[in-house]
Structure 1
Amino acid sequence: MEILQDRYRIEKILNCDGAMIRYDAYDTFREQAVEIFELYPTEIVTRDEDKKSVKLKKISDEGIFKQMRDDMEREARKLIPLYPLDHIAGVITYFNENNTIYFVTEKTKGISLDTYIRKKIHGANMTVKAVYEMASPMLKTLDMLHEKGVIHGRISPDLIDVGEDGKMVLTGIVSPMKFMEGINENYSPVEQFAENGQILPETDIYAFGAVIYRLTTGNEVLPFYERLSEDNPEGKDPILEPSRYNGGIMDYQSDAIMKAISIYHFDRYKTFAELLKAIEQEDYSDTGQIRKREAPIKLINEWKYKRTILWGFVAAIVILGLFFIPKAFDLTGRTGAKAFYKKLIAADDYTKCRMIDDLGKTERKTFANDYSQMEEEGEHDIRYYDLITERFSDYGSIDKSGKHLRYVSLDYRLNGQAILKVHYDGDETVMTVTLKETSDNGYYIEKTESKEGKIADSFVGIIHDNKQEEK
């Protein structure tokens, strides 16, 4: 078990977003749980032979890495005197070790926002009032930090926890804001991607506006380049107002959320206080952006009228949906998985790596076991694709009584690797792929082939389009 500074015991990795590694740790001196963030931009660094120290992939990136360390150290110095912060995991200290920089932050007591959505409210859309009550203490602290020149720059559900008091707590307050690796495009506005673009308080406002949109509608805001695409009908922003998805959202609240996620920073609110005021009060003076709240009695009457007309349609749709939709989804999923795995198994090793690396987040959830977005891999059920029945099932459900036993599994791991296992009538191939192409467009793999339980062949090294480089 790794010990840093002869004091901090690393318990486990919580996540790695491509820029920082977040650890669950224990301060043996103060005897308290903490979190530690390690600067580890996977695009430009890797581990040295001791498996602990950080080394550059290319010496030409030394200046970039140094600038990142200096910028983050400067931010930490601003934050340490402010500790503790209300509903933000404050920075306790920082230190340099293993050729990189580490930040020790307060340990939040609670669960991640994603876990809260999945387990506490079972995926249901939240009301704006509920989000307001959960988030307002955190957002007020963020306004204070903005006034002091501190901007988070990477707000997303991955870095928001729900504390024991039911309020949101923001983590990862120190981050390499100008380093794009690991940034979640659904919560990042256009200025973060512009050359020499500025990171502003409005950047955080956009990000949390996108969080509100996700919590109240169940949908994520599209990346800025899709919103600005010339292919959009009549050049319009394809993002729909939250009230279109959630009947409990008032028009003025819906417009306030849309203003927070405006594409350009000058159209957004300047402070979180303005955003909170806009979604809280009944009448908002900025009628050019926010429509006044409709009278509750009018909305109730309209709903009763619409309900009478639509009830028959809803009943019919539900009945038809119960019969047809499961069959349609099952057929679509089975057809897609069959085609994917047929092509994957037949491909050469390099093409396998490309297919596994290029598989999108949605497809990963459909065709594989995607642990990469989970807090702990144990929370996920392990699925196998049975090549005989052409269905997904757990290992215990696979028929092992027959002469032939053929199945495949594909796991995406928290550490940025994917593991492909193919079992075919007693022969088994296991290939571990590091999901980032090397500087020379290759993939680092570890591959083992077994026959009747005995290792027949193995390979460890970098594989290219037309050659292997064994290590």
Structure 2
Amino acid sequence: MTTTTENRHALPTGYQLQDYRLISIIGHGGFGITYLAKDTKLNHEVAIKEYFPNDLAIRENDHNVHPKSHQDKENFAWGLERFLQEGQTLATFQHPNIVRVLRYFEAHNTAYIVMEYEQGQSLSSAIKNKGTATEAFLLEIVSPLLEGLQAVHEAGLLHRDIKPDNIYLRDKDHSPVLLDFGAARYAIGSRSRSVTTIVTPGYTPFEQYQTKGDQGPWTDIYALGAVLYRIISDKIPVEAPKRVNAIKLREEADPLPPATKIGRKHYSERLLRNIDWALEIAEKDRPQTVSQWAEALLPPPSPTEQAKPVKPVNRITPATTSAATTRCGSTTAT
């Protein structure tokens, strides 16, 4: 993972935050700042995510974070509570494809989530200028992500912001990790009715644009389907509201070309058909659970794999670490 430029709202480099000395900024957005830090007691590097919704909060000279107004105070506290709940829940996971949370704590009138840090790059970086990705590459990525996502859903959570920037590929074995769950961001956006703060155009399904949209596992499935579509087409999918407007308001064809059409020269019909299934506009028309989609999407296991004991939770084949996996590019979001 590469470091990013400095952020004027961030804590200074070298700052001692409890047991951690901040080394650099490795990510920042509208709702938080992520630091690379060194655990000074255990002598290893960690990533620390700070809750900092910059539309609602400011940092004073004493490094404490304060809401900008009384109205912001309510929304800030609402999001902070959900940020801590997210940290608490993620800390219970011991899954190789979900970001590992080591601890969480409150300080400076805000909160922090301490995560395991590993060398790697975002999927966004890996696919940039990569050329045509192989089907083997796609399956190596999606199979373990489905396992991780199913664990999340079984815990009663949704990710709500799956996109190439939030999927991390480890350098050591190219295995994927889901990052940056959107609980706090979604809580604030829903409360303030600011839809633009809680969606990622192209990856967000239509129900997330609605205040009372029916969200469930199918919401994350749409987003992961959009990630696969991005890889096979080299284009970000058409935004969900534009698709709805074209079909329902103007009675035109869906402006999103089907995966079965654009990828037929390079990918199996099975893969393409199931990408299209995940990208259905209506929630009821998509796979309703990860296991349902996985059973249709992934090739059946070989006789050797069938002979091995499997977990009853799903029928997802573990990821391989083939040397054919290609990695390249920068850390720019796509």
TM-score (norm 2): 0.77
> Contact 2:15 / 2:21 at 8 angstroms: preserved in 1?
yes
The letter for the 1-side match of 2:76 is F
Residues 29/182 of structure 1: CA separation in 2 closer, same or farther (3 Å cut): farther
Residue 38 of structure 2 corresponds to which residue in structure 1? 26
Residue 237 of structure 2 corresponds to which residue in structure 1? 221
Report the 3-state secondary structure (helix = DSSP H, G, I; strand = E; otherwise coil) of the residue aligned with 2:73. Answer: helix
> Contact 1:86 / 1:138 at 8 angstroms: preserved in 2?
no
Q: Select 2:187's aligned residue among 160, 178, 187.
A: 178
Q: Select 2:174's aligned residue among 166, 181, 196.
A: 166
Residues 234/194 of structure 1: CA separation in 2 closer, same or farther (3 Å cut): closer
* In structure 1, distance between residues paired with 2:22 and 2:107: 14
* In structure 2, distance between residues paired with 1:273 and 1:130: 20
Between 214-223 and 106-115, the greater mean CA deviation after superposition: 106-115
CA deviations over 1:253-299 (Å, ceiling 9, x no partner): 222101112222222112223223222238xxxxxxxxxxxxxxxxx
> Contact 1:35 / 1:106 at 8 angstroms: preserved in 2?
yes
Residue 148 of structure 1 corresponds to which residue in structure 2? 155
> Contact 1:146 / 1:201 at 8 angstroms: preserved in 2?
yes
CA deviations over 1:344-396 (Å, ceiling 9, x no partner): xxxxxxxxxxxxxxxxxxxxxxxxxxxxxx648xxxxxxxxxxxxxxxxxxxx
> Contact 1:213 / 1:257 at 8 angstroms: preserved in 2?
yes
Residue 261 of structure 1 corresponds to which residue in structure 2? 279
Shift of 1:250: 2.8
The letter for the 2-side match of 1:105 is M
The letter for the 2-side match of 1:146 is H
> Contact 1:132 / 1:276 at 8 angstroms: preserved in 2?
no
Residue 72 of structure 1 corresponds to which residue in structure 2? 83
Residues 4/184 of structure 1: CA separation in 2 closer, same or farther (3 Å cut): farther
CA deviations over 1:146-196 (Å, ceiling 9, x no partner): 111122111111111111212211112364133442632221112222113
Residue 138 of structure 2 corresponds to which residue in structure 1? 131
CA deviations over 1:212-254 (Å, ceiling 9, x no partner): 1111111111211111124886332211112333311233322
Residue 85 of structure 1 corresponds to which residue in structure 2? 95
Report the 3-state secondary structure (helix = DSSP H, G, I; strand = E; otherwise coil) of the residue aligned with 1:263. Answer: coil
CA deviations over 1:286-326 (Å, ceiling 9, x no partner): xxxxxxxxxxxxxxxxxxxxxxxxxxxxxxxxxxxxxxxxx
- 1:431-446 alignment runs, 5 A limit: none
> Contact 1:46 / 1:56 at 8 angstroms: preserved in 2?
yes
* In structure 1, distance between residues paired with 2:297 and 2:125: 25
Report the 3-state secondary structure (helix = DSSP H, G, I; strand = E; otherwise coil) of the residue aligned with 1:131. Answer: helix
> Contact 2:246 / 2:254 at 8 angstroms: preserved in 1?
no
- 1:44-443 alignment runs, 5 A limit: 44-50=56-62, 52-82=63-93, 84-118=94-128, 122-163=129-170, 164-173=172-181, 175-176=183-184, 177-180=186-189, 181=197, 183-230=199-246, 234-246=251-263, 247-281=265-299, 375=331
Report the 3-state secondary structure (helix = DSSP H, G, I; strand = E; otherwise coil) of the residue aligned with 1:186. Answer: coil
Shift of 1:198: 4.8
In the alignment, structure 1 residue 14 sits paired with structure 2 residue 23: no
Higher relative contact order (CA 8 A, sep 6+): 2
The letter for the 2-side match of 1:125 is T
> Contact 2:199 / 2:208 at 8 angstroms: preserved in 1?
no
TM-score (norm 1): 0.56
> Contact 1:89 / 1:108 at 8 angstroms: preserved in 2?
no
> Contact 2:169 / 2:177 at 8 angstroms: preserved in 1?
yes
Report the 3-state secondary structure (helix = DSSP H, G, I; strand = E; otherwise coil) of the residue aligned with 1:81. Answer: coil
Tell me which protein shows more strand as a share of its residues. Answer: 1
The letter for the 2-side match of 1:240 is P
In the alignment, structure 1 residue 41 sits paired with structure 2 residue 53: yes
Which segments of 5 or more consecutive residues in structure 2 lack a partner in the other structure?
A: 1-12, 190-196, 301-329
- RMSD (CA atoms): 2.5
The letter for the 2-side match of 1:111 is Q
Report the 3-state secondary structure (helix = DSSP H, G, I; strand = E; otherwise coil) of the residue aligned with 1:104. Answer: strand
> Contact 1:153 / 1:199 at 8 angstroms: preserved in 2?
no
Report the 3-state secondary structure (helix = DSSP H, G, I; strand = E; otherwise coil) of the residue aligned with 1:138. Answer: helix
